[in-house]
Amino acid sequence: MTNRHTKILEVLAKRQRVEVTDLAELLQVSQVTVRKDLDQLEERGMIRREHGYASLEGADDLGKRMVFHYDIKRRIAKAAATTVEDGETVMIESGSCCALLAEELAFSKKDITIITNSAFIANFIRRAPHVKILLLGGYYQPDSQVTVGPMTRKCGEIFFSDKFFVGADGFAPKFGFTGRDHLRAETVMDLAEYARDIIVLTEAEKFQRQGVLGLMQMDRISDVYTDEGIPLEAEKTLRSNQVAIHKVPEYVA
């Protein structure tokens, strides 16, 4: 991912749809260069090309969500990636921060094995030369591109990993991290049984949301990677439950 790609995503996050000519002018490059950039972003499922335009409409659900706060999510992913060594096997659940973590591991580490229930993540990193991808089977949810349910749990039983990275949709101070989909939440809790450390990756704004389904109780979480915008109350609650918090800057000059 180049700085130019990041700038394109920032523009689309604000406008939803933008002309190629406008992007070329903003980035001070040729329209041919912009079109090549857009082709690459579309191939990764993050945007959709239209005649003379780039748009988020019709992009993959996870790819579209990845565009918002992209720079923060990328910094969170890079920070979390430092915990993984060459040759390690890790489990990564769905989520935009998790997808960027998978990309960081796949292209910066050697001989990494990634176990995931996310078809999006498997496709997102498919061109990485030094990664093995184990995609868990199960009931397929086409919008989120994940597998869930009893079969996914059964597949997960044969693996054990030191680290299980998960995303979150919200946070409830009296419970912990929350989700929106009951099958996904159930699958996360099932897979967590086969990992030593559960590590949550989420941008700080998710702490302002309170989902309806419990995703992971705080006493099961070892680390949280987020940004400096995390509310003080949430930070105190996590620390009181012996959760290590790692914060990346909200803004980088």
pLDDT value for 61: 66
Are 130 and 47 members of one domain?
Answer: no
User: In terms of domains, do 51 and 156 share one?
Assistant: no
Q: Say how far apart CA 98 and CA 181 lie, in whole Å.
A: 17
- Number of other residues whose CB lies within 10 A of the CB of residue 28: 8
Is the Cβ–Cβ distance between 74 and 96 less than 8 Å? no
Specify which residues 15 forms β-bridges with.
none
How many percent of the chain have pLDDT more than 70?
Answer: 96
Q: Are residues 89 and 165 in the same domain?
A: yes
- pTM value? 0.83
Q: What is the mean pLDDT of residues 221-245?
A: 95
Asked whether the beta carbons of 195 and 222 are under 8 A apart, the reply is no
Question: What is the CATH classification number for the domain harbouring 161?
Answer: 3.40.50.1360
What percent of the chain shows pLDDT beyond 90?
47
pLDDT given for residue 26 in this prediction: 82
| Alpha-carbon Rg for the chain in angstroms | 18
Which amino acid would we find at residue 142?
P
104 and 47 in a common domain: no
Q: Which tokens sit at 19?
A: 């002309």
**Are residue 43 and residue 92 in the same domain, yes or no?**
no
Residue position matching structure tokens 């078809």: 119
How many structural domains comprise the chain? 2
The domain that holds 45 is classified in CATH as 1.10.10.10
Burial class (CB in 10 A: 0-12, 13-18, 19+), 100: buried
User: Within a domain: residue 253?
Assistant: no
- Summarised one tens digit per residue, pLDDT across range 210-222 is 777 777 778 889 9
pLDDT at 2 over 80: no
Q: Which of 59, 78, 97 is the last residue of a domain?
A: 59
Domain-ending residue, one of 59, 81, 105: 59
Is 90 in contact with 133 (CB distance < 8 Å)?
A: no
Each residue of 155-185: pLDDT tens digit? 988 888 889 999 988 998 888 898 888 888 8
Q: Given the structure tokens 């061109």, which residue do they identify?
A: 127
The answer to whether residue 161 sits within a structural domain is yes
What digits encode the pLDDT tens for the residues 98-143? 999 999 999 999 999 999 999 999 998 988 888 999 999 999 998 8
**What's the pLDDT at 58?**
59
| Residues 54 and 85 reside in one and the same domain | no
Q: By residue range, what is the domain housing residue 135?
A: 70-248
* Same domain as 219, residue 200: yes
Tell me phi and psi for residue 178, to 5 degrees: -125, 165
Q: DSSP code of 228?
A: T
| Amino acid present at 182 | H
* Residue 237 included in any domain: yes
Taking 60 as the threshold, does the pLDDT of residue 253 lie above it? no
Instruction: Let me know if residue 64 belongs to a domain.
Output: no
Same structural domain, 15 and 84: no
User: Could you report the per-residue pLDDT of 35-67, keeping only the tens digit for each?
Assistant: 888 888 887 777 788 888 787 775 556 666 777
Do the beta carbons of residue 99 and residue 73 sit within 8 Å? no
Q: Determine the angle formed by the axes of helices 70-81 and 3-15, rounding to 10 degrees.
A: 140
Encoded tokens for 133: 């991808």
Shared domain for 33 and 81, answered yes or no, is no
Position 244 scores a pLDDT of 96
Q: What is the mean pLDDT of the chain?
A: 87
Q: Are residues 148 and 242 in the same domain?
A: yes
